[in-house]
Amino acid sequence: MYRRLGEFVCRNPWLMIAVWTVLVIAAGVFAPTGVSVWQDGEFAFLPQDSSSRRAERLFRDAFLGKEAEHPDQHGADGETAGVAPPVADEETTPSAAPDPDEDTPPVEAADNKPEVRTSLQPDPLGSSIVIALERTDDPYGLQDQDWEFVEAELIPQLELLQRISPKGYTEFDEHRQPSTWASLPDVPLANRVIQGVSTPSDKRVGPLLRSADQRAALIVIDLKTEFLDRQNSLLVARLESLIESREFRLKKPVGMVVALSGSATVGRDMLRAETESASRTELYTKVLVIVLLLLIYRSPLLALVPLVTVGVAVELTRFLLRIMAQHELVGLFNGLEVYVTVVVYGAGVDYCLFLIARYREELDRGLSFRESMEHSIRRVGAALATSAGTSIVGIAMMVAAEFGKFRQAGIAISFGLFVVLCFALTFTPAFLLLLRQWAFWPDVRKERMQANAGWFPSTTLWKALQEHDWIGRMWDGVAKLLERRPGLVFVVTCLAMLPFAGIAVQQHGNLSYGLLSDLPVNEPSVIGARVVQQHFAAGVTGPATVLIRFDEEDLHAFDPLADEELNSVAD
């Protein structure tokens, strides 16, 4: 099979390049944008029998009723991942909660637009943005001017944001500056990302949002989305723009600190750091590959071959995955393409290097370019397919995982490895044949390539090292030692690795579950969290929700004494 494949590719190199080029262009034209097919969040990918998902269903059945049948947000598997809970209108400030004994229906404003509302029952799987207010330059804490600023300037801006902010991505936000917000239309209630706002003036929870030393206070913005939902980035960025705007800083009292924290802010910073880290990893990988290829093969065009091959293969993989996700053949969580790019890039470069190394060996034997490539595909094709097949099958086993993101990653990465394997066996040989002797530039004098040919001057240190062939002699010595004393090499290697294995066993349980500890200290969420930690008890910005379910007859079975005790606890 690989002999016929090699003969076909070598006879039609232009055809192979043209076919792949047309396929990539067509896939790019028909592929949807990533935003339209990506699935956000984290909890939505948990199995249905997990504690948090069971608690979420209990919450919706008990507190949302029929509203749960029409969710405004969906998870990866079609389950609801965040629905706005019941809300109540405000007669005074938007942060003041109504009397729980009153059943007041929603009131429409004069312009038939719903008033800004405050949530009474937060979604247990929702997230929040916390605005921390602090004053440390006065022993009496926050002053009257600070509270006047909050009521007159900050809260009205939050009301406006609640009306005009949908779920979305920062990079697509054309109205990040506060000066443009007044012209934006109100977003329908079902599409708003803010579920409610709680302030220190709230009648029900306000006292909990003031610190005991009166030097700090919190404004909690409850969201309908999860804390790792990338669509929180639009709202977080708008809040940052508000706090950093010149007009806001001029009106803010001197000495008053305003910082952002909360689970949604932490999630945004985590996702941003993850994306930046992946981008740096991809860049450093490309630079390292280029440097190594230049040092090993001493040919800039030859170093370009695997980069072009893998780059085009990765783009085609991304396009095809989006098309399949559009037709609901696969699922793609937001951020999966980063992992596909990194894994496929590393594997694809390896496949190309295997083929190029064999190609050079065949040329050194005196064969022509076409004959060398045919022999290379025939002799390493099976090895490449076996190596890739092992990785594909192994990674595909992730589809058996319970966590939804692992299943999606197993399918997408395996598919990417298959695509790059096809490129390595067809596109790379065709590319090398089209370059012919120019692939090994500057040594383009003859078809048979010499192992000692290079593009460094003969007087360089590298040339001197190459003439002594110290690296080759070292590997020859290792090979001879393995041949003579394999048992000794095995024992010495195990003993050398034993201390590291012992350290791994000792540190096996040393795991970090901290979110803030993994972020840089200058991230906004970390700065805001430090303000909260200095004045409030742990968990005030992220309380745990405990749902207790009773059968109806059990509730009626309570005796009067028990009812009185429950009422006293509630008071």
Q: How far is CA 527 from the centre of its chain?
A: 22
Calpha distance 200→509 (Å, rounded)? 41
Determine the Cα–Cα distance for residues 111 and 409; give it in Å rounded to an integer. 48
State the pairing for strand pair 38-39/332-333: parallel
Strands 87-88 and 332-333: unpaired
- Whether the CB-CB separation of 261 and 533 falls below 8 Å is answered with no
Pick from 72, 38, 32: nearest CA to 229: 38
Assign 364 to helix, strand or coil.
helix
* Under-50 pLDDT residues of the chain: 66-121, 445, 449-458, 569-571
Task: Judge whether 321 and 415 are in contact, CB under 8 Å.
Answer: yes
This prediction's pTM:
0.71
Q: 453, 437 in Cβ contact below 8 A?
A: no
CA 147/CA 27 separation, integer angstroms? 56
Q: 228 to each of 225, 272, 318, how far by Cα in Å?
A: 8, 11, 22
Q: Between β-strands 87-88 and 38-39, what pairing exists: parallel, antiparallel or unpaired?
A: unpaired
DSSP-assigned letter for residue 328: T
Nearest to 253 by CA among 346, 150, 325: 150
pLDDT digits (tens, 9 = 90+) for 139-187: 888 888 888 888 888 888 888 888 888 887 776 667 677 777 888 888 8
Contacts of 429 (CB under 8 A, 6+ apart): 6, 9, 10, 13, 16, 355, 373, 376, 377
Give dist(CA 450, CA 437) in Å, integer. 12
Q: Domain boundaries in the chain? A: 2-30+271-467, 81-261, 469-507
* Tens-place pLDDT, residues 388-445: 899 999 999 998 888 888 889 999 999 999 999 999 999 988 888 888 877 777 665 4
CB 118 within 8 Å of CB 197: yes
What CATH superfamily is the domain 2-30+271-467?
Answer: Multidrug efflux transporter AcrB transmembrane domain (1.20.1640.10)
Q: What secondary structure does DSSP assign to 236-265, as a single string?
A: HHHHHHHHHSHHHHHHSPTT-EEEEESHHH
Three-state secondary-structure class, residue 502: helix
C-alpha distance across the termini of the chain, in Å: 81
Amino acid at 185: P
At 65 the pLDDT is: 52
Residue 88 DSSP symbol: E
- CA-CA distance, 150 to 487, in Å (whole number)? 76
CB-based contacts of 297, cutoff 8 Å, min separation 6: 303, 356, 360, 440
